[in-house]
């Protein structure tokens, strides 16, 4: 079968173009270290990479959630610890007041408790990133509203938050509620009212209710200890979840790299082979075209 000159030249051109495209692709892979640039490079690999990248974004979101949950729990934990110190001192004063003390000492203790009330009210209305820590999900509200007398002293406190908690997702199947529960928040309100009652009892010198007030203070202390312990456990859980997310993120990064990163030694060898073939094709084309031209002249 006779092959025409046009067919031969078109085949040579196609071969040279194919080698040129391969050479350009391999050069880009060597320069960038990547082997996937377009879907047609390897459709199956591109599909796998898209799935892995989707999972990476999900892991990143869960990690961000864990960071926020940990910060929120830590802020609540540290604030409760400060309130616990106030409670310790108030319980101590209540114990001292149950003994025989002078009217001057009683008034001095009353003045100290009055300062403790102001300190506790401020701590109970603490905000973290502009959200109230002890208001449930009513984070825009100031959770503890104080009633004051003519001298500005707090006479009673009411809780105006709610009992809801906002869960934070740590994985597809797990969430955590790092905020303070409604029972603890209402307990803070009770503690403030116990402090007000202690102050008033000390100011008036009326010790008949001190036993009941002390019982309330001890109950508040127990609630604070329990809440602090709960937040310690929550933080441990969040940190464990975050470590797992970090490991999963690292694994996904390795899998993506396996699919997208070029094997440089192998790619360089293939590039050299392609360049050799390309040069040979050009030389062969030149020789064939020269012979064809001489045949035509003859």
pLDDT 10s digits, 32-70: 656 555 655 667 877 887 898 899 999 999 999 999 999
At residue 285, the pLDDT reads 62
Q: Is residue 298 part of a domain?
A: yes
- For residue 274, the enclosing domain spans 1-6+21-32+263-298
For 144-189, how does the pLDDT look when each residue is reduced to its tens digit (9 = 90+)?
A: 999 999 999 999 999 999 999 999 999 999 999 999 999 999 999 9
Q: Is residue 13 part of a domain?
A: no
At residue 294, the pLDDT reads 47
Q: Is residue 161 part of a domain?
A: yes
- Give the CATH number, domain containing residue 63: 1.20.1330.10
Residue ranges for the chain with pLDDT beneath 50: 1-3, 263, 293-294, 296, 298
Answer yes or no: do 189 and 208 share one domain.
Answer: yes
Q: Is residue 158 part of a domain?
A: yes
Answer yes or no: do 121 and 167 share one domain.
Answer: yes
Answer yes or no: do 27 and 128 share one domain.
Answer: no
Which element (helix H / strand E) includes 168? Answer: strand 168-169
Answer yes or no: do 215 and 85 share one domain.
Answer: yes
Answer yes or no: do 69 and 28 share one domain.
Answer: no
Q: Is residue 39 part of a domain?
A: no
Answer yes or no: do 2 and 101 share one domain.
Answer: no
Q: Is residue 134 part of a domain?
A: yes
The two three-digit tokens of residue 174, written as one number: 């797990």
Answer yes or no: do 64 and 199 share one domain.
Answer: yes
Could you tell me if 135 and 165 are in contact, meaning their C-beta atoms sit under 8 angstroms apart?
Answer: no
Answer yes or no: do 116 and 248 share one domain.
Answer: yes
Could you tell me if 228 and 81 are in contact, meaning their C-beta atoms sit under 8 angstroms apart?
Answer: yes
At residue 138, the pLDDT reads 95
The two three-digit tokens of residue 50, written as one number: 């898209």
Contacts made by residues 247-253, CB under 8 angstroms, sequence distance 24+: 248/59, 249/56, 249/59, 249/60, 249/63, 252/52, 252/55, 252/56, 252/59, 253/56
Backbone angles phi, psi at 138, to 5 degrees: -85, 60
In 3-state terms the chain splits into helix, strand, coil percentages (rounded to 5) of 70, 5, 20
At residue 1, the pLDDT reads 47
Q: Is residue 199 part of a domain?
A: yes
Answer yes or no: do 126 and 162 share one domain.
Answer: yes
Q: Around 259, how many Cα atoms within 13 Å sit in the side-chain half-sphere?
A: 20
**What's the distance, Cα to Cα, between the start and end of the chain in Å?**
22
Q: How many separate domains does the chain show?
A: 2
At residue 163, the pLDDT reads 94
Answer yes or no: do 56 and 161 share one domain.
Answer: yes
Q: Is residue 38 part of a domain?
A: no
Total-model pTM? 0.76
Answer yes or no: do 102 and 145 share one domain.
Answer: yes
Answer yes or no: do 202 and 120 share one domain.
Answer: yes
């Amino acid at each position: 079968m006779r092959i025409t000159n046009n067919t031969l030249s078109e085949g040579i051109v196609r071969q040279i173009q194919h080698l040129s495209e391969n050479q350009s692709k391999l050069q880009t892979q060597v320069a960038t270290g990547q082997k996937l640039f377009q879907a047609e490079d390897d459709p199956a690999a591109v599909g796998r990479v898209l799935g892995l990248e989707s999972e990476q974004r999900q892991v990143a979101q869960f990690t961000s959630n864990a960071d926020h949950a940990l910060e929120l729990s830590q802020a609540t934990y540290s604030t409760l610890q400060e309130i616990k110190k106030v409670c310790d001192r108030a319980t101590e004063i209540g114990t001292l007041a149950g003994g025989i003390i002078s009217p001057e000492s009683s008034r001095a203790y009353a003045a100290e408790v009055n300062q403790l009330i102001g300190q506790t009210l401020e701590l109970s209305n603490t905000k973290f990133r502009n959200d109230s820590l002890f208001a449930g999900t009513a984070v825009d509200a100031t959770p503890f509203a104080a009633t004051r007398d003519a001298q500005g002293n707090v006479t009673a406190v009411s809780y105006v938050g709610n009992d809801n908690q906002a869960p934070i997702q740590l994985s597809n199947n797990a969430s955590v509620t790092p905020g303070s529960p409604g029972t603890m928040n209402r307990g803070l309100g009770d503690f403030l009212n116990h402090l007000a009652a202690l102050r008033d009892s000390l100011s008036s010198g009326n010790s008949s209710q001190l036993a009941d007030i002390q019982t309330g203070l001890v109950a508040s202390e127990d609630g604070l200890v329990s809440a602090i312990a709960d937040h310690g456990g929550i933080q441990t859980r969040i940190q464990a979840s975050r470590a797992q997310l970090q490991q999963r993120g690292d694994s996904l990064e390795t899998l993506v790299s396996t699919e997208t990163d070029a094997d440089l030694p192998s790619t360089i060898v293939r590039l050299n082979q392609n360049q050799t073939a390309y040069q040979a094709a050009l030389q062969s084309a030149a020789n064939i075209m020269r012979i064809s031209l001489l045949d035509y002249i003859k």
